[in-house]
Structure 1
Amino acid sequence: MTAYVALLRAVNVGGTGALAMAELRRLCEAAGFAAVRTYIASGNVVFTSPLDAATVKRRLEEALQVSTGRQVSVAVRTAAELAAALAANPFADAPPSTTVLHFLDAPPQADTLERAVAPDGERLALGAREIYVAYGAGMGRSRLKLPSAAEGTARNVNTVAKLVAMTAEVSAA
């Protein structure tokens, strides 16, 4: 069994993507995932499955479509991939609450940094399938334009660290 984390895009943000975490757990269990746990009401779910990541992603997105009536994008990482993304954070000197990983399905495009507009001094770096952003004054005040992140979903370093710990717990169970 592989431990996975699924990061749902636009769930419980601004009231437009409301999905109770109990319902998300139920959907994951009905899709055949085990040891299902959610973390905060923003679409973070940890579980185990014998399936490969592409099948996990497809199954969860299909279950969400049926349940919510809309397409919900999901970024899926194995426990090892998530831990590696956290370890690769190039902004360890920045506050974890204002440093964000934008999770993508594919590696960021080579021109991602050139196309970004960071008027508030945000620092950016590319990862394997992530874009790292140190927001400095915070994401809420930022006027950062990051076109490459439009299809992804973001989590701050504190959340990613908690999810890494949770994947380690379900792996050990």
Structure 2
Amino acid sequence: MRGLTYRHDSNYFGGPSNEDQAKNALQRRAIINILKWLSVDSSDPSENDKRQFEETMQRITLAPNETMDKAKQWDYYVKGLVQLRAFFVAAFDDTDDSKILDNIKRNYDTLIKRINLLGTNIYVYQFGQPSTITRGATPIEYDKAILRAYKGADHKNTAEFNHLKHVRRVPWTIGKAI
């Protein structure tokens, strides 16, 4: 899946060409199909489906033949999610065509739904204030803040978080397609 997040943009200063946009659109569809294959029953993924999703997100940022450091697996998970989401968000800058933007929005919404469905065992927190930019008619929150993932129970009320300001769950990981 790592190769699918490579963004085609042969015309660097003028944005992607029509051919590049078409390649990027095919890649977005392929990513969505892979995420659908990870959980055949889209209403109730199994623990195995969720584990496969977690491992996919953890490995998406690794180079070929690179070994994952298990101590950093949740850092890899967050990087993978951010990389995948960034690939989809970048598409909003490619065109002003409302028909194409509608398709990009549907793809993005599907991605967020799959992340929420398959990532239910993982709690991703943002430390610090987010910023919001607008892509087309869609406000997109991007994270200047530090993101951390934890498997298992909600950690928000633990000692690690109690002294920190501006700690919150990352909205696009809990069902809010921002």
Q: Same fold (TM over 0.5)?
A: no
Give the number of the structure whose residues are more often strand, by fraction: 1
Give the number of the structure whose residues are more often helix, by fraction: 2
Q: Which protein has greater RCO, CA pairs closer than 8 Å, 6+ apart?
A: 1
Compute the TM-score of the two structures, normalised by the length of structure 2: 0.25
Compute the TM-score of the two structures, normalised by the length of structure 1: 0.26
Of structures 1 and 2, the larger Rg is shown by 2
